[in-house]
Amino acid sequence: MRKFLAILLTCFIFLNIGVISVFAAVASDCKEYCNDQYHVDDNPDGYTPPSDMVCMCNPLTATSTDALIDTVIDFIFWIGMAMGPLMIIIAGFLFMTAGGDTDKIKKAKNIITWTFIGLMIILLSRGLISAIKSVLG
């Protein structure tokens, strides 16, 4: 039990030292680094990590709630647009391998029908959001 506590205490001490060194980075340097992570202006060859600090950048690059909602809506839109053709291919495979079974044929037709309805809802919702944004300014 004493060995376990000694190891736990040692890990805790080293973890705190690591956290202190992370927060020791100057905020303005991290902001500049996050704005130009790949240092395209300085180094056309690609990524150059910072030499003396650790910076954690916002992966969403959203600075407001509106931008975050737009990012999430775009992600859902593109996932839906990728799933549509995939579902049509699956339904076509199910239709081709039905072998005259009316239940499988009916299931394949339902998948195609609901896939097209889902794609129309996704496209119309995207268009409706654009129309509302343009009307409201």
Task: Match 């809802």 to its residue by tokens.
Answer: 121
Q: What is the mean pLDDT of the chain?
A: 77
Q: Any idea where the domains of the chain sit in the sequence?
A: 1-57, 65-136
Q: What angle is formed at CA 84 by the lines to CA 80 and CA 86, rounded to 5 degrees? A: 120
Give the pLDDT score at 112.
95
**Percent share of the chain, pLDDT over 90:** 30
Q: Give tens-digit pLDDT for 17-76.
A: 544 444 444 445 566 666 665 555 555 554 555 566 676 776 776 778 878 888 888 888
DSSP state of 51: S
Tokens of 4: 């376990």
